[in-house]
Structure 1
Amino acid sequence: MTVATTVLAVSAAAGASPSTADTTAFDIVPLGVEGGVVEGSTSAWFIARHGHEQGLACDAGTLVPGIRAAIAKGGFPAGTRPSDVLHRRIGAYLITHPHLDHVAGLVMVSPDDRAKPIFALPEVNAALAADYFNWSAWPNMGDRGKPPLLARYRYRDLAPSAEGVPVEDTGLAVTAFPLSHGGTLSTAFLVRAGEDAMLCMGDTGPDAVEHSTRLDSLWQAVAPLVRAGRLRAIIVETSYPDPRRDEDLFGHLTPRWLHRELGRLAELAGGAGKLTDLPVVIGHIKPSVDGGPETVATIARQLSEGEGPPVRYVIAEQGLRLEF
């Protein structure tokens, strides 16, 4: 099975996760890694406890095209069929926010999906019911909203910052933290596997630009896990390269702002050394319409050359498996 390798390391040699544990905690397969424009690779991540077949999808902008790409690249075992992943391996959805590039796959595939829950903040689930599964944009595949209710999906509202809620049959538990995304409520999901944890973050702007303290609250919540060596990875967006005017961020991050935000996490965790080699997986890079590699290469270079803490940046590639 192919495993994605680190694309670049910053301020420290590439190495293992800082976790004190000796074994891998999470298997991650990026199903969609881009921030729009390309319909077949928008935000979606398959996350499972290491060695478990059934896991969850964190966002679902792309499903079937991403699953097919992952099978072709060895992200799932040889002989896996797309229907196996959709119907059996994905046991639940975590939806960070209701923007189209994060939910289009969920909506499109719903008539062929099997019954499963959607975990989200209450406002996000309310938007899915009102704006998509409403018998206008799409048949109502949910269990609330405009009748008749087909109830293929069961909305599970998560209270912000509540203790981890178990996701049935996955060995995982999730906690939702609100994020600010240019006027839209977004979410960071802390996914736990026993004592270990990882963050799957939706779109977010920096606190200073968003006039928010939500990222700071998130960093305070996960800093004890960093100090204990139990935060295995962070999945985070970096939509645009530098320089970009703050007023043109539209609720997104650049390498400069990501460095600054991770620097705040380092302060709360006890110093930059606490983040040495922590895998920070980069997604939601907005590609050029012409499909050239320049944007990805520029962001990769700017991350490597910046003055952030000594984390290990990994540029996610659709379909290539990651293990942390």
Structure 2
Amino acid sequence: MLITCLFSLPILAFAQGKTAPSFRIVPLGVLGGIDESNLSAYMVAPVGSDNYACLDAGTLHAGIEKAIENKAFSVRGDKVLRQYIKGYFISHAHLDHVSGLIINSPEDSAKNIYGLSSTLETIKTHYLTWESWANFADDGATPQLKKYHYSVLQPGTETPIDNTDMQVQAFPLSHSNLTSTAFLVRSKGSYMLYLGDTGADEIEKSQNLHKLWEAVAPLVAAGKLKALMIEVSFPNEQPDKTLFGHLTPRLLMNELDVLAQLSGTTLKGLNVVVTHLKPPYRSISKIKTQLNYANKRQMNLVYPRQGKPLEF
């Protein structure tokens, strides 16, 4: 069984040597939990392009500086923030997914904030207001500074990402008491799938993940899904009643069994990027051990590191 862990150079994963990579992903933050310098945010662009979408925005400045330190970018951080990031895709409005966007907004440039209507409504009415922060958007509390534009995504409808050559579809996910989002990003004929926080269907009493797997199963079967980015927040010992809409290694593997069945494949070699591991670090180590042990399908499990670019 081959299990690849990500610790240094960019990895050309899945069928290394068979096809050229389609996507470049720069993790600006990879964890859940209390480390405000390393929270969920991933820049993604077609290989060879500097026109990125940012999937969630828990950490921006610290992550960009880390990426520059790791030579992921050869320009200043303000250029990455203002020119390379063309828009934000917010899976849900919990602070560990939006705080970087809010804090960096005074130094940012004009761009779109994409999300489901419920997510954007929370940002508009709770964060980008004059009570909690300045309103840098073109909607909501007055005066409106009109730097950001809210772009509502309709579930299942492919939408162009402005100022990039990529398109995106949004799919709702169940995250305890609110709706989170999965973003299916397309570049030409290749796809990558990013999931915000999500619980398992069996725990959430939901069919959201099953519907998502149905939608992407043909892409898996055709070898067009280059990477699946999905959270695992807790080890298997976490009681169901305190999962709060998150996954464990056991629950993730159960869900991927469903994807394998629907796609008619073994998933061998599928790039699965494990996100949102929650400190303490002894728990993170346990999660990785449990995932590696449970990886009977021989998927390529990737544990991203902040500022270290990936290519798929």
Which band: TM-score by shorter chain? Answer: over 0.9
2:272 is matched with 280
1:11 is matched with none
Letter of the 2:28 partner, please give it: L
Counterparts of 1:104-123 in structure 2 under 5 Å?
104-123=99-118
Secondary structure of the corresponding residue to residue 40 of structure 1: coil
Q: What is the Cα-based RMSD across aligned positions, in Å?
A: 1.7
Letter of the 2:274 partner, please give it: I
Distance in 1 between the 2:282 and 2:72 partners? 25
After superposition, the C-alpha distances for 1:24-44 in whole angstroms (9 at most, x for unaligned) are 100001100110210100000
- 2:176 matched to 1:188? no
- 2:1 matched to 1:6? no
- 2:196 matched to 1:199? no
For 2:56, which of 42, 59, 74 is the aligned residue? 59
- 2:210 matched to 1:221? no
Answer yes or no: is the 8 Å Cα contact 1:18–1:276 preserved in 2: no
Gap change, CA 1:73 and 1:86, over 3 Å in 2: same
2:142 is matched with 147
Counterparts of 1:234-249 in structure 2 under 5 Å?
234-249=228-243
- Between the aligned residues of both structures, percent identity stands at 43
After superposition, the C-alpha distances for 1:111-131 in whole angstroms (9 at most, x for unaligned) are 110000011011111111011
Secondary structure of the corresponding residue to residue 103 of structure 2: helix
Answer yes or no: is the 8 Å Cα contact 2:32–2:96 preserved in 1: yes
Distance in 1 between the 2:252 and 2:17 partners? 25
Answer yes or no: is the 8 Å Cα contact 1:262–1:309 preserved in 2: no
In the comparison of the two structures, how many residue pairs are matched? 306
Secondary structure of the corresponding residue to residue 72 of structure 2: coil
1:313 is matched with 301
Secondary structure of the corresponding residue to residue 228 of structure 2: strand
Gap change, CA 1:191 and 1:123, over 3 Å in 2: same
Answer yes or no: is the 8 Å Cα contact 2:13–2:311 preserved in 1: no
Distance in 2 between the 1:19 and 1:69 partners? 26
1:128 is matched with 123
In the TM superposition, residue 18 of structure 1 has moved relative to its aligned partner by 4.8
Secondary structure of the corresponding residue to residue 123 of structure 1: helix
1:92 is matched with 87
Gaps of 5+ in 2: none
Distance in 1 between the 2:67 and 2:14 partners? 23
1:176 is matched with 170
In the TM superposition, residue 15 of structure 1 has moved relative to its aligned partner by 8.0
1:74 is matched with 71
Secondary structure of the corresponding residue to residue 252 of structure 2: helix
Counterparts of 1:42-53 in structure 2 under 5 Å?
42-53=39-50
Answer yes or no: is the 8 Å Cα contact 2:13–2:300 preserved in 1: no
Letter of the 1:254 partner, please give it: T
- 2:307 matched to 1:300? no
Letter of the 1:29 partner, please give it: V
2:14 is matched with 17
Answer yes or no: is the 8 Å Cα contact 1:239–1:285 preserved in 2: yes
After superposition, the C-alpha distances for 1:98-139 in whole angstroms (9 at most, x for unaligned) are 000000000011111000001101111111101101111111
Answer yes or no: is the 8 Å Cα contact 1:143–1:152 preserved in 2: yes
Letter of the 2:203 partner, please give it: V
Letter of the 1:72 partner, please give it: E
In the TM superposition, residue 22 of structure 1 has moved relative to its aligned partner by 2.0
After superposition, the C-alpha distances for 1:272-315 in whole angstroms (9 at most, x for unaligned) are 2xx11111111111111xxxx42222111111111553211111
Distance in 2 between the 1:196 and 1:21 partners? 14
- 2:253 matched to 1:259? yes
Distance in 2 between the 1:179 and 1:233 partners? 18
TM-score, normalised to structure 2's length?
Answer: 0.95
Gap change, CA 1:21 and 1:130, over 3 Å in 2: farther
Gaps of 5+ in 1: 9-13
In the TM superposition, residue 245 of structure 1 has moved relative to its aligned partner by 1.1
Answer yes or no: is the 8 Å Cα contact 1:188–1:202 preserved in 2: yes
Gap change, CA 1:170 and 1:20, over 3 Å in 2: farther
Distance in 2 between the 1:73 and 1:24 partners? 20
- 2:31 matched to 1:34? yes
